[in-house]
Every structure is written in C-alpha cells, then in structure tokens.
Amino acid sequence: MAKNDIQPAVPQHVGIIMDGNGRWAKRRGLPRLAGHRAGGQNLRRVIRAARDAGIRYLTLYAFSTENWNRPAEEVSGLMALLDEFLEKEIASLHAEGVRLVHIGNLQVLEAALRKRIEDSVSLTKDNRAITVVLAFNYGGRDEIVRAVRKLIAAGLPAESVTQETLTAAMDTAGIPDPDLIIRTSGEQRTSNFLTWQSAYSEWVFTPTLWPDFDEKTLQDALAEYAGRDRRFGRISES
C-alpha cells in the first residue's frame, strides 16, 4: 500500500443509519413517537462525540424516501420532531462550529419545514468543526436518478458521462465518500443509504438501539474500523 494510502485510525466520514427507535419505545411500553423523540434527543450527544473523536463529516439517515409508507400520524410526528430539533438546537450547534448540510429531496416537504432546513443550512454554512449531513427525505436510488436527470438537463453527451461527472451531480458533491457506516439496532441491511457513495465503505452493525447509542458505542465502532484492512480492490500487503 502506498504511503499516502495508509488508512487513518479515525475515519474522515462516518454515516449512521439511526435504527431502533420504535423497538426502544415498545420495550418501555411507550408509543413509537416517544422512541423517535428519544432518538432526536440523542442527536446532539452523538454529534459532539463524533466531533471530539476527530470525525470531520457525519451523515445521519433521518428519514428515507420509503418512510412515507409509514402511518400518516408517525410521518407527521417525524416532520414535527425535526422542526422542533432545529428550532431548539441549531443556535447551539452553530455556536459549537457545526455545519449542517442537507441531502435528499426538499421539494415535497411542507414549506415551513423546508424553510427551517434551508435557514439552518445557511446559518451554519461557514462552520468547520464538523459537517453534519442530514439525510432527510433521502434515498440512494432517488439521488442517482436525480443526478442523471441533472446531467441530461445540462445537455451532457452520453460519452461524457463518467464516474466523476455523476459524483459531481450527486447531493453529496464536495463531500468525501463515507469511510465507515454504522447501523444501529442489529438489522443488517443498507436500506438505500448512500448507495453510490458507499461502494467501498466499511460497515459496522451494532445491536444497540439508536436512543441508547452513545460515546462508548461510537468508540467501539471506531475501534472495529481501525482494525479493518481497506484494500479498494488491491491485494493486502499484510
């Protein structure tokens, strides 16, 4: 492995599929929305832990394009919880140097929530302590389709379509691919998360439910990542 290809001990970019809110609530005899609220309250703790660990980019899978298939009451509650979180927390996150970026399709969201997200992104755009990428109304396949449509609309000829041009048309343009993706709750599926970008990501599946995911669980995942041999198609020198 070339000297400049040595894997850093701490991944530059970590993605998290935040799963298990409903089961967390069920185990406590609470409604599902109470689990989502507990999961939302955990966001700031994990963002701080990631920043303190030296992670530069943290992508959080908050609401997928498939989540619209859930009961209308739950969907409405999730929208309200995001709006509430941003209203209460964005000023503090901004003061701590957090930059917020959104990926996904904002156009179908209600105007008030869309504006809340856009305002939060604008407020924090110059911060550099850590970039938090909020994947809300996001799906990997949907992102690829929208990226291809951008290239077609721009008149790019077929022979000019490359991995580089498609990457530049993605929502994540300018953001490095994730080195590590963590899924909580014990489920072992990728669930349409960063489909293009995760081609060579390392994956860690933890049984911990998202509301219980804390600094120690993150450090355990980082330790597992540090022990991986990322070859990117090459032969390991070890």
b/e code 122-135 from CB counts within 10 Å (16+ = b):
ebbeebeebbbbbb
Per-residue pLDDT at 216 exceeds 80: yes
Quote the pLDDT of residue 91.
98
Report the 10 Å Cβ neighbour count for 175. 18
Confidence band, pLDDT 50/70/90 cuts, at residue 230: confident
Query: Mean pLDDT for the chain?
Result: 94
Segment 194-201 mean pLDDT: 98
Q: One of 4, 52, 67, 105 is an active-site residue; which one? A: 67
At 104-147, the pLDDT tens digits run 999 999 999 999 999 999 999 999 999 999 999 999 999 999 99
Confidence (pTM): 0.93
At 32-48, the pLDDT tens digits run 999 999 999 999 999 99
Which residue shows structure tokens 């980082």? 222
Quote the pLDDT of residue 173.
98
Copy the structure tokens of residue 52: 């303190």
β-pairing, 202-205 vs 98-103, is unpaired
At 163-175, the pLDDT tens digits run 999 999 999 999 9
Helix axes 43-53, 72-95, angle to 10 degrees: 40
CATH code of the domain occupying 10-224: 3.40.1180.10
Judge whether 19 counts as a catalytic residue. Answer: yes
Q: Where are the domains of the chain?
A: 10-224
Quote the pLDDT of residue 79.
98
Q: One of 4, 19, 42, 126 is an active-site residue; which one? A: 19
